[in-house]
Structure 1
């Protein structure tokens, strides 16, 4: 009998957690977390302080964080289709949304689904909030994923020293990057400017591929943009969402690059968030980069950076293209099959559509 999908396993695990938490306690913790995410973040202590905070966070934010990271990792995997990470370090991973996302995108690691007896992906989560790590370990322990069940949950301040120590336990000799994939998701906003730069620089040294995800706000985009510059300066090549590694063509303060992931709301999620719709859209910004020679991948020709606008007989697409080019293209009925493709195009997708090996 096959295991339930990864997202269903996570939903069931979260429901079991909240069942044991008094409603008033959960509500108070959620209200405080909402105030935190909408305000200025303290940087001297972890945001998640105790078990109630962590359970509230997991119910309130983990489904959306999971879907946003799934979208970013999927975009990266599309650009490097023959690559699957054998090791993964999640920096500031908290309850582990990113490692669940990696399990959905890549399974348990290279060859894990081939029937061969091969090691599962080596997974490490590093965070300074011990209650979050404890809950993440509990959630992962009930998963059908071997890589999640075997994950290490390391407590430590998000510093270059701690990150390097967590990475070096992978036992890969220096000077090669010891980890194949490093994720830094929804954590840079909790750090000082100096710590942000230090963390991203350390991630670039530690990983053959680095994926950074932040909320899709103007400030979140600026943090991703800064991380992108640091990754490029460290010698990495951007694979997604940008079709190039040159300077971002957007003017800070006037526009920001972000995308949206559809999040299905369970009854638990609607209860915790006080909403009635069966879904929500999580806005996020991200950058995915790889070290040349370590990962084989190719950036897209152009990326759709806004929701396509449908007009009578026309589709308007806002595109970021190679060579620091940002502009709008119009696809009309006279373009035939391309017009039909444009009507199905999605925000965040590649344009023009790329043909598979068996397509004419």
Structure 2
């Protein structure tokens, strides 16, 4: 869930506008986005007035925060000694990623957001002033268009959320190299779609070529074992909606699921080999749990954990999509014939969104 200080600040900002006004702005923004470029390269053309900015924050900030926060927690778990003092958030919008980073790494003190739209900066600055985290509260907001030729502050942590895919494909590698320059850790988040995953996969290759080591979600630095066109690597986080958010989004459910793809890489010495990563919602049947894993040694692997395996089974019952999975010895398991058969059958079928 959003931290209390951000939720209160966002609700206060939205309260300046009626729910009907915000809902109309959301509808207009959605239509404009469908008609052209968005995000780092085109967002400013679609934001027209304070109501649009507030609607944009209401529509996207909670989901962006939750996706970035989950990715950051996974990265922090892999590099427990990482305590960044400075952060650069490129194409940062109203600052969801700096709030997520402040909650993950309380050591942050010097934070810079680069955003091209002055109205978005104004709202982001007003929200950040209410933050309990000193780094978020003292954020420097810089109006500029992100690009490989832009000068940038040195930062321990460099982040980009839902912005890289809005650049022309030919420019993305240069933007990733620019983002990674002198950074100890880089984290990029994109939508959990096949196109978003393709953007992340390409960014991952650039980061590896620059000498960084992947820390999450992948348990290795080798080529991604997922076959393009048949599947894509993405994760999901569930977030609650307030009554106002339901009105703004014309939704009836009290929650929404944000699907996202991400990569986190470090310029520090490579950490110890990672645990496997759960790539799908675990399939639970009576007495068994089926896990699809990305592994360090065997690529994509399907494992069936039975009730007979005691503690391992209890852990499998609690593990979630996107979590790390670590087990040793025979109990870690060699996939049973049933699991192997399921894996073969799944590989023969077209991929579907597991969410």
How far is the alpha carbon of 1:341 from its aligned partner? 0.7
1:250-300 CA-partner distances (Å, limit 9, x unpaired): 11111010101111111221121112222111111000000034xx73452
1:330 aligns with 2:304: yes
1:260 aligns with 2:246: no
Verify the 8 A CA contact 1:41 1:189 in the aligned structure 2: no
1:158-186 CA-partner distances (Å, limit 9, x unpaired): 11232xx231xxxxxxxxxx311000101
Q: Structure 1 residues 49, 206: closer, same or farther in 2, change over 3 A?
A: farther
Verify the 8 A CA contact 1:239 1:290 in the aligned structure 2: yes
Distance 1:135 1:7 in 2: 17
Matches for 1:103-252 after TM superposition, within 5 Å: 103-107=102-106, 109=107, 121-162=109-150, 165-167=151-153, 178-252=154-228
- Which deviates the most, 25-34 or 318-327? 25-34
- Secondary structure of the residue aligned to 1:81 is coil
Distance 2:65 2:250 in 1: 20
1:13 aligns with 2:23: no
Distance 1:223 1:54 in 2: 26
Aligned twin of 2:281: 307
How far is the alpha carbon of 1:209 from its aligned partner? 0.5
Q: Structure 1 residues 155, 287: closer, same or farther in 2, change over 3 A?
A: same
How far is the alpha carbon of 1:347 from its aligned partner? 0.6
Distance 1:353 1:54 in 2: 47
- Secondary structure of the residue aligned to 2:145 is coil
Distance 2:63 2:42 in 1: 25
Verify the 8 A CA contact 1:30 1:60 in the aligned structure 2: yes
Poorly superposed stretches of 4+, deviation over 4 Å? 36-40, 42-45
Unaligned runs of 5+ in 2: 329-355
1:278 aligns with 2:254: yes
Verify the 8 A CA contact 1:248 1:324 in the aligned structure 2: no
CA RMSD of aligned residues (A): 1.9
Distance 1:287 1:135 in 2: 28
Distance 1:207 1:188 in 2: 17
1:317 aligns with 2:283: no
Verify the 8 A CA contact 1:6 1:103 in the aligned structure 2: no
* Residue 35 of structure 1, aligned match among 31, 38, 44: 31
Distance 1:86 1:96 in 2: 17
Distance 1:45 1:145 in 2: 28
Unaligned runs of 5+ in 1: 110-119, 168-177, 355-360
Query: Number of residue pairs matched?
Result: 325
How far is the alpha carbon of 1:324 from its aligned partner? 6.2
Verify the 8 A CA contact 1:238 1:299 in the aligned structure 2: no
